A and B are shown apart, each in its own frame.
Chain A
Amino acid sequence: MFIIQPHYHAIARTAQDYERMAQSGVLCVAEPAFWAGFDRKYPETFIDYFRQITEFEPTRAAQYGITHYAWVAVNPKEAENPELSRMVLEKMPEFFEKPNVLGVGETGLHLSSKNECDIFEAQVQLAVDYDQLLLIHTPHLHDKLYGTKKILEILDGFPNLKPEKVWIDHIEEHTIRPVREKGYWTGFTLYPITKCTATRACDMLEMYGWDRMLINSSADWGPSDPFTLQEAVLEFRRRGHSLQEATEIFFNNPARYLGQNPKFKFKPIRIEEER
Chain B
Amino acid sequence: MTDRKEGNSSISVLSPQKVLDLYYLDTRWHILEIGAMLDRMQRGEIAHPDDEASRTDLRAELLREALQILASDSREPDRAERLLTLFTKLDRNHE
Task: Please report A residues at the B interface, Cβ cutoff 8 Å.
Answer: 141, 173, 192-194, 197, 199-200, 203, 206-207
Contact = CB atoms under 8 A, between A and B. Distances in A.
Contact of B29 (A173, A193, A203, A207): A193
Interface of B: 25-26, 28-29, 32-33, 36-37, 39-40, 43
A68 B21 CA distance: 38
A92 B43 CA distance: 46
Nearest to A207: B43
A200 B43 contact: no
Contact of A199 (B25, B26, B33): B33
A139 to B, nearest CB: 15
Nearest to B29: A193
A207 B46 CA distance: 12
Contacts of A206: 43
Contacts of A199: 33, 36-37
11 contacts: A193-B25, A193-B28, A194-B29, A197-B32, A197-B33, A197-B36, A199-B36, A200-B32, A203-B40, A203-B43, A206-B43
Given A197-B29, A197-B33, 19 more contacts: A141-B25, A173-B36, A192-B29, A193-B25, A193-B28, A194-B25, A194-B29, A197-B32, A197-B36, A199-B36, A200-B32, A200-B33, A200-B36, A203-B36, A203-B39, A203-B40, A203-B43, A206-B43, A207-B43
A199 B39 CA distance: 12
Main secondary structure of the interface of B (DSSP, over half): helix
A141 B36 CA distance: 17
Contacts of B40: 203
Contacts of B26: 193
Contacts of B37: 199
A206 B40 CA distance: 10
Report which residue of B28, B32, B37 has the largest number of chain A beta carbons within 10 angstroms of its beta carbon: B32
B33 to A, nearest CB: 7
B9 to A, nearest CB: 30
Closest 5 CB pairs of A and B: A193-B29, A200-B36, A193-B25, A203-B36, A203-B40
Contacts of A200: 32-33, 36
A193 B37 CA distance: 16
Contacts of B32: 197, 200
Nearest to B37: A199
Nearest to A201: B36
Nearest to A196: B32
